[in-house]
């Protein structure tokens, strides 16, 4: 090869005029110095040219004085005249109008220039990743990624769906890939400052390379890497975020006064007699104790009223806001250095996050270290890369919030509770037992049995520490110029150690010790649980290895371009956990004491109940194994037509299935046509137009179902001491893997000067053999059966429009995202009772029951006929108005219940306007969610009549004849009537439209760089301000609730930070 | 292209790794160590030993509907589930949409038993494993029969020879295939299946077990005796009771117990043949549920059961503390006291008053203060039967027997009673042989299968 070049050079030297010479060089992005693969390099006035390789390198035969055009979408094209130099390195400048349109997408297996891609990718490049300020990575995708939505109607965990939901009970989370391999740890361990870019893979062609785990879409995160031939480049980022306290008054609650009146009327009816004489010394609220004292003649009428009226003025929610919560403050620091020489590139960064959370006493600290290094050896034939990523997360959880602030374990705390007195002393509240019993017990020698919420925060010592280490190695060897072999290996290890040291001061420990305290025949107290601390611990060790061997082929000749890869992958993930509890724990000496787990003791608080001391020890051992083969090829003709195909077979150690059910083959094909590369198109006003379509299968895995009867061992039975197990799954010999078939069609376009650019995609997804739950006759032995009994169909549009509205002194660009999605269940083998749809069709509960021809998650209700003149809610039985609630519910049919619509937004997106003027840049993101419904909460009289504080609608209830004209809140019934409650709470009266538009966030940045300010000590400095969750601009419903946050309003937060490059 | 030595090494390593990873059993590894596809005798034993969640649980709504206990207006209002409130007043609709464990759990037992029975057929018996195999086979049959019998006692009308062939029975499932449609048998077919299972179990069950939660031969004889009694087959009832007592006739001497203990009757005591506990409802725990006043008054002051079983709650109000579970849940299993009473009743009904008296006195002697018991000398068979039935109510209070007795004695005008209750000023009654002696099947069963609802 070198000899050949030599001949060329000699040849060139001799015949000057016709000199054919060879130039080579590298094209980089001017901003971050990253090499740009896939850049078109064309000799002006000809059709000759090439494209840069994965390292951004190109070689081209030219003549002197030829003009080379370097063009790449997202960057301003550059023309360079060929001189005598044989090396031409080019830095392309990003085009502000299409900032996020970086045209390299990463699938985790390869880097594909978007021009050549047939599939559906959404690329979030570095600037956009950094637009939000947050501790975590994933939230940075929200409202900037087309087709991706965070579902808020699911309580608890973050629930992201990409183009809707493709499973019912399987794993519904998208696969998260970090640096080529799926990440098995907690995504909270990843520092967003280490992220270079994120690619979201949406259709079959994009995601099918991930096979059986791609059914929910794939999020590929690429961390920062070094750059060859770059002088050391130091970057620094720091910011502080302050958030409001949560609004405890957000969900309307019964007033204290109303609650006291309820207690008075229940008392008059004798409701508390049972608790008063209970063996368990059930707790009674202070107001009820006053009423008892009054009944027993210990209080006169006047004193009782005075004392009760004093309680009326109290509201414990003020104390919650004041003493349990604070403004959270999150600090973030990140420092890194990247660079490289001719044979080496490196990146090292450290990050530190220190969050003082909104709950007083709780904190989150994260330290991350990210180091990667790559060497080119053997004249660039061999590349060796090594990377190490370490994260240490320490969480302190001293404050459980409202979770333990319960009265009698099931009810919220009474509304007139006080956490502090006027003098600032922490106060105790009545929680599990009557005050008199607690005080008597203490005078009888038991430990203090009172519960003082604010003291508990001080006594708590509950920490968890995560150490997460990822080691990567990659060997790539260029066998020929077009064939490369690669081997990649990743080892991951994570340990999570939770320690909850509940000292003798803590309520949990005092309560356990007291409960088991025995009085012997001489009246002495005997303590089967020693009067010392209780240590609860949980250790989880996880580790995984991934190995991948892959051959890559890439060749461009004449009008042909072929890229192909094929490989083999194996993965193992092990999780070993153990949970243990030490009684009699002395933290000072680290000593523990033995207890008797076998004897059944009568409880001190209920001597007629016998229990053994709880033994919380347990061991868990999980292993996931995958073996996969995959291949992927793309052929491009004349840079106009691309045909792509991929296939993959995954096998896993599924349990309880036949060997041939362990694997699933999945495939995809795609076509793309770049119309603007055709000779016949006038490309002046439309320089870029591409049509593409793909078709194929992705899969999903649900390891919870098995073909054979599966039992799970539950350890030792407390009744007999014998090992025992419970049946998890009944046999299901017809079990199959879930599959999602996707057809995607899209157009990418860009008008002259990028005034308008973007893409429109239309897709249809068919879910096949989805695992669904069906209610079964209980006489079968199972109440709910899971099997492949659902098919779904979803179709939708993803629209991305980027416009450059003004491009003068002031620059104004708009990024518009719109996604529309309709999903329905096309077949669901087994019909559930209609009540199941009404109660749990929305998907907010664990089990959901889909109805054919309706969305997977939908809002259904009982038809509402208003209140009758006695304030009773009316429904319909077989079309006739009725107050027979058992019949309204029992005789409802899938036809008689009201279907409102989807429980999840069917249209959503955002409008992001960015204004820049001189050094200022202002970005405002407005997001919207449309076309869905939610059920608001209201008063449940079963709770009220059980003496529990409930919804504020109680105050708006029917009380007098005629009220039915103004209110839809039923009267309070005489007795608990579950059916009446269930009918009202699931009636159409409470269904609201969820449509809304919100001002999500604003980012203001001020940038200084040396180009504009020569005396700046840094090459680039950015100051930024960021405000998040700013509020709702419009909503369809009149109810004062945020449709996406029905239980807790999102807190507004404000951040300020600086980003420096040296 | 000449082979580069580095490349060659690379390819060799690659091939080795590939070969290593592809080995056949790589994917046989269990994803979760605690998972098991039940195949071995130990696996099946672990399923049948699932005592406190599945296998040793008995319905309780019959006890709530019977006259062992009563509550006040406030006590009734305070009951935690609509099921209890409705059951207490014999309302037509019992569950108000609540899940019905009284139905679901016995059928879970049937399912577990079927899984074990099917699995056992695939295991080759060796001399070493034969004892365990047989014990499992017998246990599964016993559990299935026990569950089906508890279900008939609650969800079908009482058995009579005359009507059984035309009375609605319950779905019988003999295979673990959950997709098999439920076939609702007649009551005669249901009883035939129960007796067939139990009779077969006799060939397999061991005489002793160290665990009261596991079925044994005497427990199976006792259950056969109990079932024949509900069928009015007194000859068979006597025979099986005799066979049970021949193997185990231990009775607790209440003189050895301490009435001041919070729970004087120890759990898993020697009198128990088969441990099971009733589903724990608030009715078993709440403070204003009291023993029937007539029942309490019927114990002689020298009868130790008066102090072992009851404690004073408020003036003239007594709570039950004598559960054979040794804790709050009421007992739902089988103990020898019941077997003595079955034989006594069967004997007197067949004209053997001497034998009946002997059994009755043997039991009562252990219940009275030592030396104070005056043996029963009644010779009139009719009167003696009355005494025995009264002793059944006193001895087996707060178990499942009272409901069963109310059902079967409804046919006999001498012993039939009309139950009545007053709640919030409304009087509710349950006359003998009322349709409400069969509880309604839960909605989930009706909606998801073709079984017929009980008329109420």
pLDDT for A73: 66
Chain B residues with beta carbon closer than 8 angstroms to that of A722? 46, 49, 51, 211, 213
C-alpha distance from B10 to closest chain A C-alpha (Å): 9
SS3 A150: strand
Looking at chain B, the whole-number percentage of residues with pLDDT higher than 90 is: 76
What are A283-335's pLDDT values in tens digits?
Answer: 999 999 999 999 999 999 999 999 999 999 999 999 999 999 999 999 999 99
Looking at chain A, the whole-number percentage of residues with pLDDT higher than 70 is: 95
| Higher-scoring residue by pLDDT: B150, A807 | B150
| Higher-scoring residue by pLDDT: A1027, A977 | A1027
Q: Where are the beta strands (DSSP E) in A203-343?
A: 218-223, 230-243, 328-341
pLDDT for B336: 97
Radius of gyration from C-alpha coordinates of chain B: 26
**Is the pLDDT assigned to residue A624 strictly greater than 70?**
yes
Q: What's the burial of B312, exposed, middle or buried (CB within 10 Å: 0-12/13-18/19+)?
A: exposed
Q: Quick check: A621 contacting B, CB < 8 Å?
A: yes
What are B263-297's pLDDT values in tens digits?
Answer: 999 999 999 999 999 999 989 888 889 999 999 99
Contact between A961 and A869 (Cβ < 8 Å): yes
pLDDT for A100: 36
**Is the pLDDT assigned to residue B321 strictly greater than 90?**
yes
Q: Do B46 and A975 touch (CB under 8 A)?
A: no
- Residue B213: Cβ within 10 Å count: 24
Q: Are residues A181 and A74 in the same domain?
A: no
SS3 A732: coil
Residues within 8 A of B (CB atoms), A 686-725 only: 703, 706, 708-714, 717-720, 722-725
CATH classification code of B41-280+322-448:
1.25.40.390
Q: Quick check: A784 contacting B, CB < 8 Å?
A: no
Contact between A822 and A804 (Cβ < 8 Å): no
What is the rounded distance in angstroms from the CA atom of residue A400 to the CA atom of residue A409?
A: 14
Q: Do B6 and A720 touch (CB under 8 A)?
A: no
What is the rounded distance in angstroms from the CA atom of residue B350 to the CA atom of residue B235?
A: 7
Of the residues A474, A779, A985, the best mutation for testing chain B's interface (the one with the most B CB atoms within 10 Å of its CB) is A779
pLDDT for A4: 42
What is the rounded distance in angstroms from the CA atom of residue A948 to the CA atom of residue A429?
A: 15
pLDDT for A6: 40
What are A163-210's pLDDT values in tens digits?
Answer: 888 887 777 888 899 988 999 888 889 999 999 999 999 888 877 788
Residue A500 binned pLDDT confidence (cut-offs 50, 70, 90): very high
Which member of A475, A720, A727 has the closest CB to residue B115?
A727
Among residues A956, A964, A935, the alpha carbon closest in space to that of A872 is found at A964
What is the rounded distance in angstroms from the CA atom of residue B402 to the CA atom of residue B394?
A: 10
pLDDT for A97: 42
Q: Where are the beta strands (DSSP E) in A845-919?
A: 858-861, 875-877, 880-882, 898-902, 907-917
Look at residues A199, A225, A251 and tell me which one is the last residue of a structural domain: A225
Residues within 8 A of B (CB atoms), A 492-511 only: none
What are A266-280's pLDDT values in tens digits?
Answer: 999 888 988 888 888
Contact between A686 and A676 (Cβ < 8 Å): yes
Q: Are residues A62 and A153 in the same domain?
A: no
Look at residues A225, A260, A275 and tell me which one is the last residue of a structural domain: A225
pTM of the entire predicted model: 0.82
- Range picked from A227-236, A287-296, A769-778 for highest mean pLDDT: A287-296
Q: Do B37 and A710 touch (CB under 8 A)?
A: yes
Q: Do A703 and B31 touch (CB under 8 A)?
A: yes
Chain B residues with beta carbon closer than 8 angstroms to that of A731? 176-178
| Higher-scoring residue by pLDDT: A98, A49 | A49
Which residue carries 């404000």 as its tokens?
A1054
Burial annotation A23-32 (CB, 10 A radius, 16+ → b, else e): bebbbbbebb
pLDDT for A8: 39
Report the number of distinct structural domains present in chain A: 2
Encoded tokens for B400: 């499942």
Q: Do A978 and B287 touch (CB under 8 A)?
A: no
Residue B17 binned pLDDT confidence (cut-offs 50, 70, 90): low
Q: Do B97 and A835 touch (CB under 8 A)?
A: yes
Q: Do A602 and B47 touch (CB under 8 A)?
A: no
What is the rounded distance in angstroms from the CA atom of residue A578 to the CA atom of residue A620?
A: 6
Residue B183 binned pLDDT confidence (cut-offs 50, 70, 90): confident
Look at residues A225, A252, A284 and tell me which one is the last residue of a structural domain: A225
Which member of B26, B28, B46 has the closest CB to residue A723?
B46
Chain A residues with beta carbon closer than 8 angstroms to that of B442? 778
What are A572-623's pLDDT values in tens digits?
Answer: 999 999 999 999 999 989 899 999 988 889 899 988 888 889 888 888 888 8
Q: Do B448 and A719 touch (CB under 8 A)?
A: no
DSSP for residue A211: G
What is the rounded distance in angstroms from the CA atom of residue A245 to the CA atom of residue A321?
A: 7
Please name the residue of chain B whose CA is at the shortest distance from the CA of residue A724: B46
Which member of B72, B326, B449 has the closest CB to residue A600?
B326
Which member of B7, B18, B82 has the closest CB to residue A568?
B18
Q: Do B173 and A781 touch (CB under 8 A)?
A: yes
Chain A residues with beta carbon closer than 8 angstroms to that of B7? 477, 479, 485
Chain A residues with beta carbon closer than 8 angstroms to that of B447? 775, 833
Please name the residue of chain B whose CA is at the shortest distance from the CA of residue A774: B448
Q: Do A278 and B287 touch (CB under 8 A)?
A: yes
Residue B1 binned pLDDT confidence (cut-offs 50, 70, 90): very low
Query: How high does pLDDT run on average in chain B?
Result: 91
pLDDT for A342: 84
Q: Are residues A216 and A116 in the same domain?
A: yes
Q: Do A269 and B74 touch (CB under 8 A)?
A: yes
C-alpha distance from B248 to closest chain A C-alpha (Å): 21
Please name the residue of chain B whose CA is at the shortest distance from the CA of residue A612: B327
Its domain, for residue A207, covers 104-225
pLDDT for A16: 41
**Is the pLDDT assigned to residue A734 strictly greater than 80?**
no
Chain A residues with beta carbon closer than 8 angstroms to that of B449? 777, 779
What would the mean pLDDT of B335-347 be, rounded to a whole number? 97
What would the mean pLDDT of A472-494 be, rounded to a whole number? 92
Residue B18 binned pLDDT confidence (cut-offs 50, 70, 90): low
Q: Do B52 and A718 touch (CB under 8 A)?
A: yes
Q: Quick check: A480 contacting B, CB < 8 Å?
A: yes
- Range picked from A775-784, A880-889, B444-453 for highest mean pLDDT: A880-889
Please name the residue of chain A whose CA is at the shortest distance from the CA of residue B314: A277
Angle of the B234-247 helix axis to the B217-230 helix axis, nearest 10: 160
Q: How many Cβ contacts (< 8 angstroms) between chains A and B? A: 254
Encoded tokens for B253: 């001497």
**Is the pLDDT assigned to residue A957 strictly greater than 90?**
yes
What is the rounded distance in angstroms from the CA atom of residue A710 to the CA atom of residue A703?
A: 12
A19 Cβ contact partners less than 8 Å away, ≥ 6 residues apart: A12, A63, A64
Q: Do A777 and B444 touch (CB under 8 A)?
A: yes
DSSP for residue A271: T
The enclosing domain of A206 has a CATH number of 2.170.130.10
Q: Are residues A39 and A140 in the same domain?
A: no
Of the residues B46, B331, B449, the best mutation for testing chain A's interface (the one with the most A CB atoms within 10 Å of its CB) is B46
What is the rounded distance in angstroms from the CA atom of residue A175 to the CA atom of residue A216?
A: 7
pLDDT for A301: 93
What is the rounded distance in angstroms from the CA atom of residue A420 to the CA atom of residue A418?
A: 6
What are A251-263's pLDDT values in tens digits?
Answer: 899 999 999 999 9
Among residues B393, B200, B156, the alpha carbon closest in space to that of B295 is found at B393
Q: Quick check: A380 contacting B, CB < 8 Å?
A: no
Residue B4 binned pLDDT confidence (cut-offs 50, 70, 90): low
pLDDT for A95: 62
pLDDT for A974: 85
**Is the pLDDT assigned to residue B22 strictly greater than 60?**
no
Q: Quick check: A835 contacting B, CB < 8 Å?
A: yes
Chain A residues with beta carbon closer than 8 angstroms to that of B36? 710-713, 725
Angle of the B187-201 helix axis to the B130-155 helix axis, nearest 10: 160
What is the rounded distance in angstroms from the CA atom of residue A571 to the CA atom of residue A546?
A: 4
Angle at B57 between CA B205 and CA B251, to 5 degrees: 60
Break chain B into its structural domains and give their ranges.
Answer: 41-280+322-448
Tell me the sheet residues that pair with A198.
A124, A221
Q: Do A549 and B17 touch (CB under 8 A)?
A: yes
Residue A847 binned pLDDT confidence (cut-offs 50, 70, 90): low
Supply φ then ψ for residue B388, to 5 degrees: -65, -45
Q: Do A731 and B176 touch (CB under 8 A)?
A: yes
Of the residues A271, A609, A710, A778, the best mutation for testing chain B's interface (the one with the most B CB atoms within 10 Å of its CB) is A778
What would the mean pLDDT of A979-1004 be, rounded to a whole number? 94
- Residue A391: Cβ within 10 Å count: 23
pLDDT for A659: 67
The enclosing domain of A55 has a CATH number of 2.60.40.1120
What are A652-672's pLDDT values in tens digits?
Answer: 887 777 766 777 888 999 999
Of the residues B12, B27, B117, the best mutation for testing chain A's interface (the one with the most A CB atoms within 10 Å of its CB) is B27
pLDDT for A12: 39
What is the rounded distance in angstroms from the CA atom of residue A226 to the CA atom of residue A968?
A: 65
**Is the pLDDT assigned to residue B410 strictly greater than 90?**
yes
Residue B38 binned pLDDT confidence (cut-offs 50, 70, 90): confident
- Answer whether residue A557 is part of any domain: no
Q: Are residues A145 and A215 in the same domain?
A: yes
C-alpha distance from B412 to closest chain A C-alpha (Å): 33
Contact between A473 and A543 (Cβ < 8 Å): no
Of the residues B20, B29, B35, the best mutation for testing chain A's interface (the one with the most A CB atoms within 10 Å of its CB) is B35
Which residue carries 């609605």 as its tokens?
B168
Query: How high does pLDDT run on average in chain A?
Result: 87
**Is the pLDDT assigned to residue A104 strictly greater than 90?**
no
Sign for the pseudo-dihedral over CA of B235, B236, B239, B244? negative
Chain B residues with beta carbon closer than 8 angstroms to that of A886? 93, 96-97
| Least confident window among A124-133, A909-918, A1030-1039, B71-80 | B71-80
Q: Are residues A127 and A73 in the same domain?
A: no
SS3 B107: helix
The DSSP secondary structure of B256-309, one letter per residue, reads GS-TTSSS-SPTT-TTEEE--EE---GGGT-TTEEE-HHHHHTS-TTBTHHHHH
Q: Are residues A114 and A201 in the same domain?
A: yes
SS3 A661: helix
- Answer whether residue A164 is part of any domain: yes
What are A877-902's pLDDT values in tens digits?
Answer: 988 999 999 889 878 888 889 999 99
Tell me the ipTM for this assembly. 0.87
Residue A846 binned pLDDT confidence (cut-offs 50, 70, 90): low
């Amino acid at each position: 090869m070198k000899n050949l070049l030599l001949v060329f050079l000699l040849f060139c030297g001799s015949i000057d005029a016709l000199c054919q010479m060879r130039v080579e060089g590298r094209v980089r992005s001017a901003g971050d110095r990253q090499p740009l693969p896939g850049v078109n390099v064309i000799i002006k006035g000809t059709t000759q040219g090439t494209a840069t390789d994965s390292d951004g390198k190109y070689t081209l035969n030219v003549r002197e004085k030829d003009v080379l055009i370097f063009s790449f979408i997202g960057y301003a094209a550059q023309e360079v005249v060929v001189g005598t130099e044989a090396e031409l390195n080019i830095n392309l400048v990003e085009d502000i109008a299409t900032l996020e349109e970086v045209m390299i997408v990463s699938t985790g297996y390869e880097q594909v220039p978007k021009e050549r891609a047939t599939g559906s990718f959404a690329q979030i490049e570095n600037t956009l990743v950094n637009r939000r300020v947050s501790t975590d990575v994933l939230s940075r995708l929200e409202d900037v990624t087309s087709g991706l939505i965070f579902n808020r109607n699911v309580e608890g965990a973050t629930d992201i769906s990409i183009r809707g939901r493709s499973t019912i009970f399987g794993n519904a989370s998208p696969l998260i890939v970090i640096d080529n391999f799926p990440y098995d740890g907690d995504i909270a361990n990843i520092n967003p400052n280490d992220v270079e870019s994120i690619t979201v893979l949406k259709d079959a062609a994009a995601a099918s390379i991930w096979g059986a785990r791609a059914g929910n879409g794939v999020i590929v995160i690429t961390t920062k890497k070094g750059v060859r031939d770059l002088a050391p480049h130091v970057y620094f980022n720091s910011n502080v975020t302050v958030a409001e306290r949560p609004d405890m008054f957000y969900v309307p609650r019964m007033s204290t006064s109303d609650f006291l009146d309820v207690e008075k009327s229940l008392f008059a009816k004798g409701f508390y007699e049972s608790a008063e004489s209970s063996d368990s010394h059930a707790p009674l609220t202070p107001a009820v104790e006053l009423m008892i004292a009054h009944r027993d003649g210990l209080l006169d009428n006047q004193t009782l009223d005075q004392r009760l009226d004093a309680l009326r003025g109290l509201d414990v929610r003020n104390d919650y806001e004041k003493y349990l919560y604070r403004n959270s403050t999150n600090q973030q620091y990140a420092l890194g250095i990247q660079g490289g020489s001719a044979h080496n590139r490196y990146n090292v960064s450290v990050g530190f996050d220190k969050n003082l959370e909104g709950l007083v006493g709780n904190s989150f600290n994260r330290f991350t270290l990210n180091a990667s290094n790559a060497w080119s050896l053997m004249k660039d034939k061999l590349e060796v890369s090594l990377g190490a990523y370490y994260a240490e997360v320490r969480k302190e959880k001293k404050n459980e919030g409202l979770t333990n602030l319960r009265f009698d374990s099931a009810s919220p705390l009474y509304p007139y509770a006080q956490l502090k007195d006027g003098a600032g002393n922490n106060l105790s509240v009545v929680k599990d037992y009557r005050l008199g019993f607690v005080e008597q017990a203490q005078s009888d020698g038991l430990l203090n049995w009172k519960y003082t919420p604010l003291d508990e925060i001080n006594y708590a010592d509950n920490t968890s520490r995560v150490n997460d280490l990822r080691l990567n190695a990659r060997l790539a060897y260029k066998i020929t110029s077009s064939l490369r072999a690669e081997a990649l290996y990743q080892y991951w290890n994570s340990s999570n150690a939770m320690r909850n040291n509940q000292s003798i001061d803590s309520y949990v420990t005092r309560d356990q010790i007291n409960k088991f305290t025995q009085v012997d025949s001489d009246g002495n107290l005997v303590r089967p649980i020693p009067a010392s601390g209780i240590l609860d611990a949980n250790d989880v060790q996880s580790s995984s290895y991934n190995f991948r061997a892959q051959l890559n082929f890439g060749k461009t000749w004449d009008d042909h371009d072929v890229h192909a890869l094929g490989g083999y992958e194996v993965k193992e993930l092990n999780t070993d956990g153990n949970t243990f509890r030490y009684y009699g724990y002395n933290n000072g000496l680290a000593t523990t004491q033995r207890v008797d787990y076998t004897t059944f003791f009568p409880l001190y608080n209920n001597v007629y109940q016998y229990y053994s001391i709880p033994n919380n020890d347990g061991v868990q051992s999980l292993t996931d194994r995958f073996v996969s083969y995959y291949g992927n090829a793309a052929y491009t003709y004349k840079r106009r037509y691309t045909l792509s195909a991929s296939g993959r077979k995954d096998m896993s150690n599924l349990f309880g299935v036949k060997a041939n059910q362990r694997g699933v083959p999945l495939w995809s094909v795609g076509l793309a046509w770049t119309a603007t590369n055709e000779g016949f198109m006038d490309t002046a006003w439309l320089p870029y137009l591409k049509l593409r379509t793909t078709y194929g299968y992705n899969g999903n895995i649900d390891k919870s179902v098995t073909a054979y009867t599966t039992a799970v061992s539950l350890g030792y039975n407390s009744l007999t001491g014998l090992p025992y197990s419970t049946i998890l799954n009944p046999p299901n010999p017809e079990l199959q893997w879930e599959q999602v078939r996707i057809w995607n069609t899209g157009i990418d376009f860009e008008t002259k000067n990028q005034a308008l650019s973007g893409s429109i995609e239309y897709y249809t997804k068919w879910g096949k053999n989805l695992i669904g739950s069906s209610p079964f006759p209980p006489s079968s032995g199972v109440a709910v059966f899971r099997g492949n009994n659902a098919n779904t169909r979803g179709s939708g549009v993803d629209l991305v429009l980027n416009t450059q509205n003004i491009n003068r002194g002031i620059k104004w660009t708009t990024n518009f995202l719109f996604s529309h999605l309709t999903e329905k269940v096309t077949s669901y083998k087994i019909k559930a009772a209609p009540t199941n749809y009404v109660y749990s069709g929305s998907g907010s509960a664990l089990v959901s029951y889909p109805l054919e021809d309706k969305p997977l998650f939908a809002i259904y209700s009982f038809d509402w006929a208003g209140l009758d003149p006695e304030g009773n809610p009316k429904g319909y039985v077989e079309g006739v108005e009725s107050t027979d609630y058992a019949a309204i519910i029992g005789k409802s049919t899938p036809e008689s219940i009201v279907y409102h619509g989807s429980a999840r937004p069917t249209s959503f997106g955002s409008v992001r306007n960015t204004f820049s003027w001189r050094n200022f840049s202002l970005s405002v993101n407005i997001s919207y969610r449309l076309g869905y419904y939610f059920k608001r909460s209201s008063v449940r009289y079963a709770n009220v009549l059980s003496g529990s504080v409930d919804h504020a609608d109680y105050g708006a209830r029917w009380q007098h004849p005629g009220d039915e004209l103004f209110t839809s809140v039923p009267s309070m019934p005489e007795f608990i009537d579950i059916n009446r409650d269930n009918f009202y709470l699931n009636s159409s009266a409470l269904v609201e439209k969820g449509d809304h538009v919100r001002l999500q966030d604003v980012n203001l940045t001020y940038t200084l760089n040396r180009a504009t300010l020569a005396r700046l000590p840094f090459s680039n400095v950015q100051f930024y301000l960021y405000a998040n969750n700013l509020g709702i601009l419009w909503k369809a419903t009149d109810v004062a609730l945020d449709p996406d946050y029905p239980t807790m309003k999102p807190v507004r937060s404000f951040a300020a930070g600086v980003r420096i490059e040296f | 292209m000449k082979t580069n030595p580095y490349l060659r090494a690379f390819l060799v390593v690659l091939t080795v790794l590939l070969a290593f990873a592809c080995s056949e059993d790589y994917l046989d590894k269990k994803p979760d160590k605690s998972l098991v596809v039940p195949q071995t005798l130990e696996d099946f034993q672990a399923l049948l030993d699932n005592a406190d969640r599945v296998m040793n649980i008995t319905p309780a709504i019959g006890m709530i509907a019977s006259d062992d206990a009563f509550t006040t207006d406030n006590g009734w209002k305070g009951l935690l589930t609509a099921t209890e409130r409705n059951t207490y007043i014999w309302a037509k609709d019992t569950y108000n949409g609540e899940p019905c464990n009284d139905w679901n759990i016995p059928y879970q037992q049937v399912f577990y038993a079927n899984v074990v029975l099917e699995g056992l057929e695939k295991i080759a018996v060796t001399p070493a494993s034969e004892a365990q195999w047989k014990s499992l086979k017998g246990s599964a049959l016993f559990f299935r029969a026990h569950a089906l019998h508890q279900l008939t006692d609650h969800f079908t009308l009482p058995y009579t020879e005359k009507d059984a062939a035309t009375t609605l029975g319950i779905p019988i499932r003999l295979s673990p295939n959950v997709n098999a449609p439920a076939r609702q048998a007649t009551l005669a077919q249901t009883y035939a299946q129960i007796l067939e299972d139990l009779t077969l179990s006799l060939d397999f069950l061991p005489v002793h077990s160290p665990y009261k939660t596991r079925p044994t031969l005497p427990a199976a004889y006792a259950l056969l005796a109990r079932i024949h009694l509900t069928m009015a087959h007194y000859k068979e009832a006597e025979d099986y009771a005799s066979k049970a007592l021949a193997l185990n006739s231990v009775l607790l001497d209440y003189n050895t117990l301490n009435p001041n203990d919070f729970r004087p009757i120890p759990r898993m005591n020697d009198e128990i043949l088969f441990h099971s506990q009733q589903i724990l409802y608030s009715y078993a725990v709440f403070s204003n549920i009291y023993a029937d006043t007539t029942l309490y008054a019927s114990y002689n002051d020298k009868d130790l059961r008066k102090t072992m079983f009851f404690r004073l709650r408020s003036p003239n109000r007594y709570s039950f503390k004598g559960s054979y579970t040794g804790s709050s849940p009421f007992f739902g299993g089988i103990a020898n006291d019941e077997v003595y009473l079955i034989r006594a009743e069967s004997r007197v009904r067949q004209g053997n008053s001497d034998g009946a008296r002997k059994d009755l006195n043997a039991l009562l002697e252990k219940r009275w203060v030592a030396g104070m018991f005056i043996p029963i000398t009644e010779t009139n068979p009719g009167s003696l039967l009355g005494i025995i039935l009264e002793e059944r109510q006193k001895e087996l209070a707060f178990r499942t027997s009272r409901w069963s007795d109310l059902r079967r004695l409804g046919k006999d005008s001498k012993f039939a009673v009309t139950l009545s209750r007053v709640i919030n000023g409304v009087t509710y009654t349950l006359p003998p042989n009322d349709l409400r002696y069969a509880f309604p099947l839960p909605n989930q069963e009706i909606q998801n299968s073709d079984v017929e609802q009980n008329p109420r």
